[in-house]
């Protein structure tokens, strides 16, 4: 169990220049270890956390040594515990987290303990940035109209989160309509350095969205995790992670005139994807850092999921401090941040000689070599230099269907489809732009590209160019600050004239919420098989994501989004062909509307002011009229509504006792599903729309919910009844028990009936029969999703026997009390002759003290087969979770004892 911190002697005072002290800190220099000087800054942050939290149980002295010895230990894929400084949630993932906290309070109350002990132990920032469906686009009142619809659809969920904001300490809830979670994090929530009860330490964050990495541009180590890891971190539990390799990315030189931060980002994304950085940190350094604004850095960091890294990290330097002042952080706070980071060797001063740090591998880029570019038509890392765009487009039309191909026959490539748009003559061709969206946290936090786009709109207006009315244009700033500086600069009116009205503050087109196209446009595309295009300033453009009818989707800088909207097509060579005809009858070219770097810098300097950030975020905490009018109970225990189809009390703690249930094996279990390799969390977890014939649809229809109001699994994540029914409901899932048939069904072994997975699981549970899952390699790969572990547990699955597990999914299963077992090397269900029709007994000791991490376990079947597996409880902490039936009961019982 936990003991006194062995590093307490390294607690050092940080004096203030004028006397007194800022606080105390765990000093890395006081360790007097020469290896620390060579460590990447990102690894130093992991080291500081390990030293500060060392208790020789959750974080051991050996873990600290592994991190200090990073150069030798990281290639060995060793695991370390990490305790982040805070947790960032958005409403889709925030709802189940708050549901679980509310349930834990109920359980504490039933055990006769003080339920108010259940509060997050680290600060939790919950931003309700519910993605805005662009129902209304070209309208001066688009923001309000879209907001009204969002509140109609999601009122119950919003009200629940508002209750949570008052019921739980240490939880800040940012109301809907304030901005995209990652931009709000950058401009307002990011602390950079915490001062908690006189102890100073670096800000670090895990968030429940993959683009949490945007905060790395601010020198705050952060990345995305699943809901169970986030909940565990909230409740003071360590996260298990592989000590990562770090790719050093050296930047030099300066961007050429007219080249944007987005062009740089798409170039870096392509380079890193090619280099291979999955599971690694990327750390940026070099003389070129001084040429990158903080917003430019955040834009690069945001795209970490697209290049595959855990994070793209920019250590704190003078530019970071300038940004903190710009965004309204006080001088005293900035002074404290700089003093602490310098004292603990976590600050980069480019005015001083740089010691060579060691990296796992190296890349470099001269910023002067970056060309204007876009990415597409189907993947973020398929970069196309702007000067090659027309040729690349024609090769995409010719190529066979794939990431870079549409297979359009030569004879129909020039086809023109004429139609009437609200009484006006209109036409579409292959490559016609039908959606042009300035959207996504990636770019909307960056004043240079946002104001650059405004200048393009202004120059076009002055020359008499106009975006065609059938192009669905939208502008979705990441925060209210953007609106303030667009108004200050006088550029918003030109955006409006070109149809780029503000539609809302949240994720829109990038996440697939582009809304419907006008019926005349939609039918023309469908009837003529047109390869229509969307151009967006987002981070994801996978096929079918932006809109079902835009087969070609290009990522581009906000100024290029406006330029392509004006051209009306991606089939254009901006160097040679005119964008359109001006009011004087002359051709207007790209160079006529493209602003210079100096022009943009001048507008940024005069328009982006600290007061804008201060006033915007002061107002955030006051909410907005619709949020403030939501009526919520004041009790600290939640009153569950049994009729709600959005918020439901899950059965995690039913019949819970003060004593842990203890370790247990599995006896005579049936196989619920028998899988091959590469079953992802997308296969397991409920996601996307609710199919009309599914068990979840049946549940909703029985409760009077119309099909049009089904919403998505994501929006109903607070209702375990819906989510359990959506587990393994993926229409492309391959289950060997179905003998080649694909879909969300299985065989109920005792009767031989083919049933939906949920219905079969329900039948097993009703008969008191346990179930297990057989799987191949990489079970649970893909995005980390909490319901990929919660769902199987609710279906009654007691164990998963796989060839190998994705790391986070394995720990999630343990967190929900499900036993993860691995076949021995060279063995699997097929080599052992297992069909899934057997009954399985897993022989685990009933005393937790008799189980060791990674020990061998015997599995026998009713057909006489016996084989040995490895129990994948990898740490003593995980065994403690298993003894209690999961992380949440473990935390409750520990708090009850206090």
- Tens of pLDDT, residues 76-102: 988 899 999 999 998 878 899 999 999
Instruction: Reduce the secondary structure of 623-660 to three states and give it as a string.
Output: CCHHHHCCCCCCCCCCCCCCCCCCCCCCCCCCCCCCCC
Instruction: For 703-724, write each residue's pLDDT tens digit.
Output: 999 988 888 888 899 999 999 9
Please name which of 875, 883, 844, 877 lies closest in space to residue 860, comparing C-alpha atoms: 844
Residue 438 has pLDDT above 90, yes or no: yes
User: What is the number of H-type helices and E-type strands within the chain?
Assistant: 32, 34
Does the reported pTM lie above 0.85? yes
User: CA torsion sign, 740 to 745 to 746 to 752?
Assistant: negative
At 692, the pLDDT band (50, 70, 90 cuts) reads: confident
| Span of 13-17, 233-237, 336-340, 526-530 with lowest mean pLDDT | 233-237
Q: Which residue has the higher pLDDT, 134 or 107?
A: 107
Query: Per-residue pLDDT for 401 more than 70?
Result: yes
Query: 347 is written with which tokens?
Result: 């600050």
Residue ranges, comma separated, of all CATH 3.30.499.10 domains in the chain are 86-369, 373-608
pLDDT in tens, 303-321: 898 888 999 999 999 999 9
pLDDT for residue 114: 92
Residue 110 bridge partners (DSSP): none
pLDDT tier at 241, thresholds 50, 70, 90: confident
Given this model, what pLDDT does residue 1 score? Answer: 65
Neighbouring C-beta atoms of residue 813, cutoff 10 Å: 27
Q: Do 611 and 680 contact (CB within 8 A), yes or no?
A: no
Q: Give the C-alpha separation, 10 to 393, whole Å.
A: 60
Write down the pLDDT at residue 131.
64
Q: Model confidence at 393, in pLDDT bands (50, 70, 90)? A: very high
Between 421 and 619, the higher pLDDT residue: 421
* 784 pLDDT tier (thresholds 50, 70, 90): low
Sign of the CA dihedral with 686 first, then 690, 694, and 699 last: positive
Query: What pLDDT, on the 0 to 100 scale, is given for residue 66?
Result: 97
Q: What is the pLDDT of residues 761-779, one digit of tens each?
A: 999 999 999 999 999 998 9
666 pLDDT exceeds 90? yes
CATH of region 86-369: 3.30.499.10
Report which DSSP code applies to 859.
E
How many residues would you count in the chain?
Answer: 898
Q: Which of 38-47, 72-81, 362-371, 523-532 has the lowest mean pLDDT?
A: 72-81
Least confident of 489-498, 531-540, 583-592: 531-540
pLDDT higher for 672 or 447?
672
Residue 610 has pLDDT above 80, yes or no: yes
**pLDDT value, residue 547:** 87
Tell me, rounded to whole angstroms, the distance of Cα 413 from its chain centroid. Answer: 38
Q: What is the mean pLDDT of residues 847-868?
A: 95
Mean pLDDT of the chain: 92
For residue 94, the surrounding DSSP H or E stretch is: helix 91-110
Which residues of the chain does CATH 3.20.19.10 include? 666-897
What's the mean pLDDT in 499-517? Answer: 81
Q: What is the DSSP letter of 573?
A: -
For the 373-608 domain, the top CATH level (class) is alpha beta
Between residues 689 and 103, which one has the greater pLDDT? 103
pLDDT for 541: 79
Among 18-27, 122-131, 220-229, 796-805, which is the least confidently predicted range? Answer: 122-131
Q: How far apart are CA 87 and CA 231, in angstroms?
A: 8
* pLDDT digits 0-9 by tens, 623-648: 788 899 998 988 999 999 999 999 99
* Residue 15, pLDDT score: 97
pLDDT of amino acid 519: 95
Q: In the predicted model, what is the mean pLDDT of residues 485-508?
A: 91
Q: What is the mean pLDDT of residues 335-344?
A: 98
Asked if residue 145 has pLDDT above 90, the reply is no
pLDDT band at 135 (very low <50, low <70, confident <90, very high): confident
DSSP code at position 438: E
Q: Say which range, 23-27, 317-321, 888-892, has the weakest mean pLDDT.
A: 888-892
Greater confidence, 278 or 847?
847
User: What pLDDT was estimated at residue 130?
Assistant: 60
Burial of 371 (0-12, 13-18, 19+ CB in 10 A): middle
The most distant pair of C-alpha atoms in the chain lies apart, rounded to whole Å, by 89
Beta bridge partners of 90: 127
Q: What is the CATH number of domain 666-897?
A: 3.20.19.10
Distance of alpha carbon 526 from alpha carbon 370, whole angstroms: 38
d(CA 29, CA 760): 59
Give whole-number Cα distances, 491 to 147, 206, 566, 713, 816, in Å.
Answer: 24, 36, 17, 39, 52
Structure confidence at residue 490 as a pLDDT band (50, 70, 90): very high
- pLDDT grade, residue 287 (50/70/90)? very high
Confidence of residue 508 (pLDDT cuts 50, 70, 90): confident
Tell me phi and psi for residue 804, to 5 degrees. -160, 160
């Amino acid at each position: 169990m936990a003991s006194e911190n062995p590093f307490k002697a390294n607690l050092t005072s940080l004096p203030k220049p004028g006397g007194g002290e800022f606080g105390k800190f765990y000093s890395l220099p006081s360790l007097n270890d020469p290896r620390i000087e060579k460590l990447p800054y990102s690894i130093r942050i992991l080291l500081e956390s390990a030293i500060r939290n060392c208790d020789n149980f959750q974080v051991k002295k050996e873990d600290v040594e592994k991190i200090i010895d990073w150069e030798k230990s990281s290639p060995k894929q060793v695991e370390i515990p990490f305790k982040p400084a805070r947790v960032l949630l958005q409403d889709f993932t925030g709802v189940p987290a708050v549901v679980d906290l509310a349930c834990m309070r109920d359980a504490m109350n039933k055990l006769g303990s003080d339920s108010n002990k259940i509060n997050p132990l680290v600060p939790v920032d919950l931003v309700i940035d519910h993605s805005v469906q662009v129902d209304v686009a070209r309208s001066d009142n688009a923001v309000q109209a879209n907001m009204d619809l969002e509140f109609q659809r999601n009122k119950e969920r919003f009200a629940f989160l508002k209750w949570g904001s008052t019921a739980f300490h240490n939880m800040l809830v940012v109301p809907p309509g304030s901005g995209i979670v990652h931009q709000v994090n950058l401009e307002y929530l990011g602390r950079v350095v915490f001062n908690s009860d006189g102890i100073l330490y670096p800000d670090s964050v895990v968030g429940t969205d993959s683009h949490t990495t945007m905060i790395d541009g601010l020198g705050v180590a952060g990345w995305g995790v699943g809901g169970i890891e986030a909940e565990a971190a909230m409740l003071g539990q360590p996260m298990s992670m592989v000590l990562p390799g770090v790719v050093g990315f050296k930047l030099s030189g300066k961007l050429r005139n007219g080249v944007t931060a987005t062009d740089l980002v798409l170039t870096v994304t392509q380079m890193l994807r090619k280099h291979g950085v999955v599971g690694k940190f990327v750390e940026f350094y070099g003389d070129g850092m001084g040429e990158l604004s903080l917003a430019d850095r955040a834009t690069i960091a945001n795209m970490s999921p697209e290049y595959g890294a855990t994070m793209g990290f920019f250590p704190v330097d003078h530019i970071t401090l300038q940004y903190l002042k710009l965004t309204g952080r006080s001088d005293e706070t900035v002074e404290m941040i700089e003093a602490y980071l310098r004292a603990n060797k976590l600050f980069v001063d480019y005015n001083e000689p740089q010691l060579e740090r060691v990296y796992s591998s190296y890349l470099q880029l001269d910023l002067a070599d970056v060309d204007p570019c876009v990415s597409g038509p189907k993947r973020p890392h398929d970069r196309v230099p702007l000067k090659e765009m027309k040729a690349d487009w024609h090769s995409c039309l010719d190529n066979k269907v794939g990431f870079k191909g549409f297979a359009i026959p030569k004879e129909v490539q020039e086809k023109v489809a004429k139609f009437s748009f609200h009484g006006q003559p209109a036409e579409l061709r292959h490559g016609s732009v039908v959606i042009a969206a300035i959207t996504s946290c990636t770019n909307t936090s960056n004043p240079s590209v946002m104001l650059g786009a405004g200048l393009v709109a202004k120059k076009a207006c002055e020359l008499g160019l106009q975006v065609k009315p059938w192009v669905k244009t939208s502008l979705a700033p990441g925060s209210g600050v953007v609106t303030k500086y667009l108004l200050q600069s006088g550029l918003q009116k030109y955006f409006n004239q070109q149809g780029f009205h503000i539609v809302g503050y949240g994720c829109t087109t990038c996440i697939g919420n582009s809304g419907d196209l006008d019926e005349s446009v939609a039918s023309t595309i469908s009837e003529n098989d047109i390869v229509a295009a969307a151009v967006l300033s987002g981070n994801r453009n996978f096929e079918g994501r932006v809109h079902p009818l835009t087969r070609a989707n290009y990522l581009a800088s906000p100024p290029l989004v406006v330029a392509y909207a004006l051209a009306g097509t991606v089939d254009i060579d901006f160097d040679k062909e005119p964008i359109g005809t001006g009011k004087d009858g002359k051709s207007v070219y790209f160079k006529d509307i493209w602003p210079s770097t100096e022009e943009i810098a001048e507008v940024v300097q005069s328009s982006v002011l600290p007061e804008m950030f201060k006033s915007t975020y002061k107002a955030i905490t006051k909410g907005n009229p619709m949020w403030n009018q939501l009526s919520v109970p004041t009790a600290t225990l939640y009153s569950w509504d049994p009729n709600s189809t959005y918020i439901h009390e899950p059965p995690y703690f039913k019949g819970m006792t003060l004593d842990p249930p203890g370790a247990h094996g599995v006896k005579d279990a049936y196989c619920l599903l028998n899988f091959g390799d590469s079953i992802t969390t997308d296969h397991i977890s409920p996601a996307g729309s609710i199919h009309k014939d599914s068990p979840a649809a049946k549940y909703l229809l029985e409760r009077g919910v119309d099909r049009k109001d089904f919403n998505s699994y994501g929006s109903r994540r607070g209702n375990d009844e819906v989510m359990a029914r959506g587990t393994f409901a993926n229409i492309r899932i391959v289950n060997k028990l179905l003998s080649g048939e694909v879909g969300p069904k299985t065989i109920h072994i005792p009767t031989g009936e083919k049933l939906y997975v949920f219905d079969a699981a329900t039948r097993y549970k009703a008969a008191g029969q346990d179930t297990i899952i057989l799987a191949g390699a990489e079970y649970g790969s893909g995005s980390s999703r909490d319901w990929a572990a919660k769902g199987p547990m609710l279906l009654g699955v007691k164990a998963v026997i796989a060839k190998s597990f994705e790391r986070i999914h394995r720990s999630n299963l343990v967190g929900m009390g499900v036993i993860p077992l691995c076949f021995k090397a060279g063995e699997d269900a097929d080599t052992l002759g297992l069909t899934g029709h057997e009954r399985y007994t897993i022989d685990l000791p009933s005393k937790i003290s008799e189980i060791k991490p990674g020990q061998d376990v015997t599995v026998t079947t009713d057909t006489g087969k016996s084989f040995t597996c490895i129990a994948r409880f990898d740490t003593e902490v995980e065994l403690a979770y298993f003894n209690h039936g999961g992380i949440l009961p473990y935390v409750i019982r520990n708090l009850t004892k206090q």
